[in-house]
């Protein structure tokens, strides 16, 4: 593949200069690292403000800003590649943790059960993250288009809020079922999924002005 073909493969617009910037590299790095950490942090359950959350959910909304920035600044082709990179990173992380888990245990090491109890959940959480993301993305897009057919170009707020609510409902429900079904009671699982939906929708709405600022900053270039 020659240089021009490689560029066309990655970008659809004149975004090559932005992709070569330090800001782009930093953004991709933080995006992948945050999502890897959030999958590990999700092994702990926490409660605050009346909500029951896996701890990774507190960190996960930062990925929304990154996702919106990639789409707005660099276009769909670049966003797709970054998402595939994220998938690869979290799968590799889960695979390494699983391999470590099944390695022979040293005779003097007494923490194998603790390791399996905590980090043994990461592969399930990883699967939940991937399938939850896919379910949320497709349902979000479908809802956005369905509402637009009814309202036309009017009431953008209705499309964005409505699609976010539906997308996060699918995302959180699929994630919680795959990651935690069988590890807690049904009532606790329902509370966890509902809390995830409320928290993610609220944070995404709250972070919208931040996203605009980050997009403007990234478009300025280095």
Q: What distance lies between CA 197 and its chain's CA centroid? A: 14
Rounded to 10 degrees, what is the CA torsion of 79, 10, 12, 222? 80
Residue 51's H or E segment, with its range, is: strand 51-54
Enter the DSSP assignment of 49. T
Q: Provide Rg for the chain, Cα atoms.
A: 19
Tell me which residue range forms the domain holding 145.
3-220
- Residue 181: DSSP 8-state: B
pLDDT at 80: 81
pLDDT of amino acid 9: 46
| Residue predicted with more confidence, 152 or 170 | 170
Residue 171 tokens, joined: 């995302």
Write the DSSP symbol of residue 105: P
pLDDT: which is higher, 222 or 197: 197
Number of structural domains found in the chain: 1
Q: Return the minimum-mean-pLDDT range out of 42-46, 66-70, 176-180.
A: 66-70
Lowest model confidence (mean pLDDT) among 12-16, 58-62, 98-102, 207-211: 12-16
Q: What is the pTM assigned to this prediction?
A: 0.79
Residue 39: pLDDT band (50, 70, 90) is very high
pLDDT of res. 221: 59
Q: Hey, how many other C-beta atoms are within 10 angstroms of the C-beta on 33?
A: 11
């Amino acid at each position: 593949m020659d240089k021009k073909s490689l560029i066309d493969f990655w970008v659809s617009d004149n975004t090559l200069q932005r992709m070569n910037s330090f800001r782009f590299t930093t953004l991709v790095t933080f995006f992948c690292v945050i999502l890897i950490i959030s999958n590990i942090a999700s092994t702990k359950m926490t409660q605050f403000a009346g909500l029951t959350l896996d701890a990774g959910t507190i960190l996960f909304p930062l990925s929304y800003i990154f996702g919106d920035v990639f789409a707005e600044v660099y276009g769909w082709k670049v966003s797709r590649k970054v998402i595939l990179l994220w998938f690869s990173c979290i799968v590799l992380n889960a695979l390494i943790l699983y391999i470590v888990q099944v390695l022979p245990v040293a005779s003097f090491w007494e923490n194998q059960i603790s390791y399996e109890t905590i980090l043994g959940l990461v592969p399930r959480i990883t699967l939940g993250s991937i399938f939850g993301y896919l379910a949320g993305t497709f349902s979000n897009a479908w809802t956005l288009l369905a509402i637009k057919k009814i309202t036309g170009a009017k009431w953008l707020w209705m499309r964005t809020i409505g699609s976010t609510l539906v997308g996060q409902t699918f995302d959180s429900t699929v994630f919680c079922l795959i990651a935690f079904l069988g590890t807690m009671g049904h009532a606790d699982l329902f509370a966890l999924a509902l809390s995830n939906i409320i928290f993610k929708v609220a944070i995404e709405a709250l972070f919208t002005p931040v996203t605009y600022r980050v997009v403007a900053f990234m478009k300025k270039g280095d």
